[in-house]
Structure 1
Amino acid sequence: MRALYFCWWLTINSLEMDSLIAGGLSGAFEGFVTYPTEFVKTRSQFQAQGVKTSPIQIIKTTVNEHGVKGLYSGCSALVIGNAVKAGVRFLSYDSFKKNLVDKDGKLTAPRSLLAGLGAGTTEAIFAVTPSETIKTKLIDDAKSKTPRFNGLVHGTSIILKEQGIRGLYSGLVPVIMRQAANSAVRFTTYSSLKQFVQGNSRPGQTLPASISFAIGSMAGIVTVYTTMPLDVIKTRMQGLSARSEYRNSIHCAYRIFTEEGVTRFWKGTTPRLARLSMSGGIVFASYEQIMGVLNKFRQS
């Protein structure tokens, strides 16, 4: 795995680094700001069948038992992972995009979808799966009265000791499926809306942060409703008891469908909707602004 990371780094070292830097900074910022919604979403997806606890109730219970810091259980894993994930996502998307634009330099919706699939798969392998696995296990562990994990480093060391490097790649297949779908839908929606706005009022101009935020938020909303089932499967496959309950992702999906019903695939939609609508706006708006600053810096 280390060799894979090293080879990947060598291939991007000669590429333009602005996308990686801007994506990493915007991802870290977004991850910290929106983390409580991710915490609530993950907790709701771990609820037992028949238990209906609202997001507000989850927040109240967590704060009463663990204080406000309880809403940030596993946060460091997600913030670090988000920085790497967003950097890899924007870098790989821009790389795929450069090779997929037509002779006029435009990226059609189908080609944007393909670039998003490539970017999502890349980020799932190199960034998302390890950070999401650790984050999910930390949240799952934190709900017990006597948690085993005492923070990111301690929790990661126990996972590695007991399960090895494979323990950090629990649910790799559903993560790839989710991230590929997420990036494909999000980038395609954002690019299409951005081209529409620029084509009608601001051709060739950099969009203001407010417009980038609005377009990014719309892209986040579309992404949530189209990819929620993959997110639920991913969360279940990364839980502490996943190995004893599910043979694979298909078996997990089958059990959810037959035992809990189809609506269970959209469990946690509200907090995820809150997060991705905000994160889409924050990431794209901050990314566009940071890229503008970096471009000016390089030109000076």
Structure 2
Amino acid sequence: MSAPAQTKKQVPLPFAYTFAFGAIAGCTELLMLYPLDVVKTRQQLESGKGGTGMMQTFRNIIGTQGVSRLYKGIIPPLMLEAPKRAIKFGANGYWSGVLTSNGTRQNTQALALATGFLAGGTESVVVTPFELVKIRLQDKSTNFAGPIDVIKHAIKTEGVGSLYKGMEATFWRHWWWNGGYFATIFAVRNALPKPTSKKGELGNNLLAGTVGGFVGTALNTPFDVVKTRIQLHGTGEWAYPALLRLMREEGLSGMYKGFAPKVLRLAPGGGVLLLVVEALTTITRKRLGPPYNT
């Protein structure tokens, strides 16, 4: 009797391809759904109890400032998209290797949570200046012509270090989002039946990513609100005292201003990312041939 044929495994694509696909997918998602980020920021900058709803905020921006205002401040996020995605998942892979001794120790829910926390903290170091520039451009009363104008003004009036104002709040925003995101993905994947097809695997990943993103957003939105305000006004306030003051002055609803547009961006955004990456991966594997397309 002849030996059973061995199933050939597809060779992973080189890092340059996966890096480029992630960047292209991220920029595609950003271009399609960026207006929701502008609306989120406007809602978060409203002080006092209550606030303008999401749809009314949309109407106010378009009615008073035009449709183009929905894309104000998009250059910094576009510039950041490729390194941010590389750092997010690269840091997650690095810390996962550290905590599991390069795979010799079994990954657990607790380790997945710790890995996410550390990856988020790492990511915040790169993100902070870009976030500060974006927030100051998205403010409804901004007079800045563009990103360079914001940077020049910040350095001239407050010094180079001012570009990192809100760093501590940004750290906690990413700490909690990545922890919730990666830990939830781990839990959801383990809870779902093992997929028996590519379509099933895609469905599992889409569900896990969407639930993970929702949990991450629920955890980090209060920190996102205080970070946005700290970076706009350059107060240098610490995140947790600012959070307590926000809760005291504006209540729970104040802590979750901008939550609706964040979540609405999350679900379709995750779908866009997966569709673009899958399409580019399939096309590239066919063009490269074996051993990438076996």
TM-score range, shorter chain: 0.7 to 0.9
Matched, 1:213 2:213: no
Alignment deviations for residues 214-240 of structure 1 (CA, whole Å, 9 cap, x no partner): 33222211222222211111111111x
Query: What residue is the counterpart of 1:113 in the other structure?
Result: 113
Question: Residue 228 of structure 2: which of 230, 235, 238 is its match?
Answer: 235
**Aligned residues with identical type, % of pairs:** 25
CA distance in 2: counterparts of 1:290 and 1:100, whole angstroms? 32
What code does the residue aligned with 2:117 have?
Answer: L
Q: How much does 1:93 deviate?
A: 1.1
Offset at residue 165 of structure 1 (A): 2.5
Larger Rg: 2
Match of 2:144, SS state, is coil
The alpha carbon displacement at 1:193 in A equals 2.3
Contact 1:40 1:59 in 2 (8 A): yes
- For residue 251 of structure 2, the aligned residue among 253, 261, 265 is 261
Q: How far did 1:207 drift?
A: 5.6
Aligned-residue offset at 1:184: 1.3
* 1:202 lines up with 2:201 in the alignment: no
Change in 2 beyond 3 A, CA 1:111/1:250: closer
The one-letter amino acid of 1:135's match is K
Query: C-alpha deviations, 1:47-66, integer Å up to 9, x for none?
Result: 13145211111111111222
- Aligned residues of 1:34 and 1:275 also touching (Cα < 8 A): yes
Match for residue 182 of structure 1?
Answer: 177
Q: 1:115 to 1:282 in 2, by over 3 A?
A: farther
Work out the CA distance in 1 between the residues paired with 2:189 and 2:29: 20
Question: Larger deviation: 280-289 or 153-162?
Answer: 280-289
**Which residue of structure 1 aligns with residue 30 of structure 2?**
31
| Contact 1:209 1:285 (8 Å CA) reproduced | no
Q: Is the 8 A contact 2:195 2:201 kept in 1?
A: no
Matches of 1:228 and 1:164, distance apart in 2: 29
Q: Would the aligned equivalents of 1:236 and 1:252 in 2 still touch at CA under 8 Å?
A: no
Among 238, 249, 256, the alignment partner of 2:239 is 249
1:170 to 145, 165, 169: 165
When residues 80 and 230 of structure 1 are mapped into structure 2, their CA distance, relative to the original with a 3 A threshold, is same
- 1:36-47 matched pairs, under 5 angstroms: 36-47=35-46
Deviates more, 1:40-49 or 1:206-215: 206-215
Structure 1 match to 2:144: 149
Write out aligned runs for 1:4-23 (5 A). Answer: 20-23=19-22
So what's the TM-score if we normalise by structure 2? Answer: 0.81
Structure 1: which 5+ residue stretches go unaligned? 1-14
Partner of 2:84: 85
C-alpha separation in 2, matches of 1:133 and 1:24: 21
Aligned length: 276
Q: Distance in 2 between matches of 1:282 and 1:106?
A: 32
Rounded Cα–Cα distance in structure 2 between residues aligned with 1:55 and 1:196 = 34
Q: 1:185 to 1:28 in 2, by over 3 A?
A: same
Q: Describe the SS at the equivalent of 1:149.
A: coil
Higher helix share: 1
Cα displacement (A) at 1:287: 4.8
1:193 pairs with 2:188: yes
Q: Is the 8 A contact 1:116 1:180 kept in 2?
A: yes
Q: Offset of 1:101 from its aligned partner? A: 4.0
User: 1:115, CA displacement in angstroms?
Assistant: 1.4
Question: 1:60-71 alignment to 2 at 5 Å?
Answer: 60-71=59-70
| Cα deviation digits, residues 71-116 of structure 1 (max 9, x gap) | 1111111222233211210111122223444767753221111111
Q: 1:260-279: CA deviations, max 9, x gaps?
A: 22331111111111122333
